[in-house]
Amino acid sequence: VSGNAMASLTDNASAQFECRWVTLGVETSICLFTQWIKHPLELPVAHGEGQFVLADTALLAQLQKNGQIPLVYMTPIEQGVTHPTHPTYPANPNGSIGNIAGVCNARGNVLGLMPHPERYVSAMQHPQRRGTPAGEGGEADGLLLFKNAYEYTKTMFDRRQYAVPGHTSPGQAEGAVRPAAMQTSYATSGVDISAANHARELMKDAVQATQGPDILAGMGAFAGMIDARGIQQMRQPALVASTDGVGTKTLIAAQAGRFATIGHDLVNHSVNDLLTQGARPLFFMDYLAMGKLDALQAATIVRGVAEACRSVGCALLGGETAEMPDVYLPGAFDLAGTIVGVVERDAAIDGSTISPGDVLLGLPSSGLHTNGYSLARRVFAPYALDTVFPELGEPLVDALLRPHRCYLPEIQTLQEHEDITIKGMAHITGGGFAGNIGRILPEGAQAVVETRAWPAPPLFQLLARLGQVERAELYQALNMGIGMVLVFSVEAAERARHVLPELLPVGYIREGNGVVLLFDQREQ
């Protein structure tokens, strides 16, 4: 929860002091206190102000999506069967929204819990379990939370400490010796096959929802297979493919504990790359790698990939999830993918017809997209992710993690008009304007980008101010508010702006070569 009074505790809905035992369900979450706990907990409550409330009910969905709700009130267990209904009073003794009993921060290492675990550290404190020996279930659930947090954290530290036997790693003392008595197995080596199986089950329905009857082999097969008859109906089909990754935006997602939209970044970036050649997406393959496989985290990421694929009519044909404790530090992950699309050969866009006198129009970006995060992380390193800068008007993390915009709907709208010919498209990613527009220019055509033609969005201005980044560097590393540049003739540009008013004039084509950026009417 971001720290601006977005959540609070208020008087119990019962309008009285509540002192009773409650049953808590353990939700799949990022909270390290509950990572290895698989059964409901019993804890005492004793409070008059324990009702969890939110300033905006929309925050509830965000907390759920981020995995920040580790514990919820539930009805007691009878004969080992949990009643899945939404509990009412007294099972939810204070009337908390969403039956929330506990929330954690975005990193999962701080737990806020209304019931009192410190009041139940021994079986003798429970009215029905007094005298139960420790070996027969005498350990109390309150103590279990603390012990679990310690053991889980210690295990994560040990995996990092012994990641490369015989070499000193961060946190490992010089000359430290690996314990000789450590029993070795695939699991103790850091690879959890059961977690991988669990992750597949959690993501399976989302992946399958992207696949139509033309998918002959998908998730679970050694290789994906798609029926090509639809392509064969085209006159001169040409396949178009692209591979890319999300880059260090994954580090921001990991730090914030937000994994639901990073898959959208990957797919949207890839789709935009296809669009530059006029292609539409057919299928996608993803690659997810991390040091310690967290089933929920992995499933959340891949479900995001699937949601993005489904929104653009692209099948998620399959992928790879790799657990590599010797390669990635705890919490770190990498996400990449390959997309394959198709275009009629005579409709492909290659920039060959671009000529002096043509116009450059730009489609606005939604933020940094998936480039420039190494620079952004360095500039914003001194600030907490929930910092609200006045020029942003929102937590920094929201601005940094806003998904990469997909331009498929806009490009398809333009392609529906026969009198609007797109001569070339440049996806403004790594390399900025010069590095990307230059890739589509034929010999003898020079692109002039007028940087004063549009205002840089607040996030880019803030980054420039705090980091004292030179202007030329900004336009080389970042999209500066323009995510896609399209080249038209003057007449087609007018028609295109009538169809899509958000298209902004950003420059023109003249004789020459390469790309020129104009700053303050001076060529740089």
pLDDT per residue as tens, the chain (524 positions): 444 567 888 898 888 998 999 999 899 888 989 988 878 899 999 988 888 898 887 888 888 888 899 999 988 654 344 444 557 888 899 999 989 999 999 888 899 999 999 888 887 788 776 665 554 555 688 888 888 888 877 776 654 443 333 333 334 444 444 444 445 566 655 676 777 778 888 888 889 889 889 888 888 888 889 999 888 889 999 999 999 999 999 999 999 999 999 999 999 999 999 999 999 999 999 999 998 888 889 999 999 999 999 999 999 999 999 999 889 887 899 999 999 999 999 999 999 999 999 999 999 999 999 999 999 999 999 999 999 999 999 999 999 999 999 999 999 999 999 999 999 999 999 899 999 999 999 999 999 999 999 999 999 999 999 999 999 999 999 999 999 999 999 999 999 999 999 999 999 999 999 999 888 644 44
Does 299 share its domain with 388?
no
- For residues 328 and 372, state if they share a domain: no
Residue 249: which CATH number? 3.30.1330.10
CA neighbor of 186 nearest in space, from 176, 196, 178: 196
Residue keyed to tokens 């001194």: 382
3-state secondary structure 256-313: HCCCCCHHHHHHHHHHHHHHCCCCEEEEEEEEEEECCCCHHHHHHHHHHHHHHHHHCC
- pTM for the full model? 0.66
Query: Is 369 found in the same domain as 343?
Result: no
User: What pLDDT was estimated at residue 335?
Assistant: 97
Residue 164 resides in a domain: no
517 and 401 together in one domain: yes
Q: Which two tokens stand for residue 472?
A: 């030329």
Task: Provide the sign of the torsion angle of the four alpha carbons 438, 444, 449, 453, taken in this order.
Answer: negative
Pairing mode of beta strands 280-290, 315-323: parallel
Whether 433 and 524 map to the same domain: the answer is yes
Answer whether residue 160 is part of any domain. no
465 shares a domain with 385: yes
In a domain, 170, yes or no: no
What 3-state DSSP class applies to 88?
Answer: coil
* Residue where a domain stops, chosen among 151, 183, 217: 151
Residue 495 burial (10 A CB sphere; 0-12, 13-18, 19+) = middle
Q: What is the reported pLDDT for 468?
A: 95
* Strand pairing report for 514-519 and 482-488: unpaired
User: Residue 51: helix, strand or coil by DSSP?
Assistant: strand
Examine the domain organization and report whether 342 and 432 are in the same domain.
no
279/397 same-domain check: no
Is residue 172, in this structure, part of any structural domain at all?
no
Crossing angle of helices 262-275 and 408-415, in 10° steps, is: 30
* Domains held by the chain: number: 3
Strand pairing report for 41-47 and 514-519: unpaired
pLDDT for res 203: 87
The pLDDT value recorded for residue 482 is 98
Contact between 361 and 493 (Cβ < 8 Å): yes
Cα dist from 335 to 271, 314, 347, 376, whole Å: 15, 18, 32, 19
Instruction: Report the distance separating Cα 73 and Cα 71, nearest Å.
Output: 7
Q: How many residues comprise the chain? A: 524
CATH no. for residue 392?
Answer: 3.90.650.10
* Residues 6 or more apart whose Cβ sits within 8 Å of residue 65: 258, 260, 300
Query: Would you give the end-to-end CA distance of the chain in angstroms?
Result: 44
Residue 326's Cβ-side half-sphere holds a number of Cα atoms within 13 Å equal to: 8
Regarding whether 281 and 355 lie in a shared domain, the answer is no
> Does the bond joining 90 to the residue before it have cis omega, within 30 degrees of 0?
yes
In this predicted structure, what is the pLDDT of residue 513? 94
Q: Please state, in angstroms and as integers, the Cα–Cα distance from residue 186 to each residue in 190, 192, 290, 325, 333, following that order.
A: 7, 7, 16, 11, 20
Residues whose CB is less than 8 angstroms from the CB of residue 335 and which lie 6 or more positions away in sequence, other chains included: 245, 246, 250, 262, 263, 266, 286, 287, 288, 301
Domain extent at residue 334: 192-348
* pLDDT score of 149: 85
Buried b / exposed e over 114-153, threshold 16 CB at 10 Å, is bbebeebbebeebeebeebeeeeeebbbbbbbeebbeebe
Q: What is the pLDDT of residue 78?
A: 42
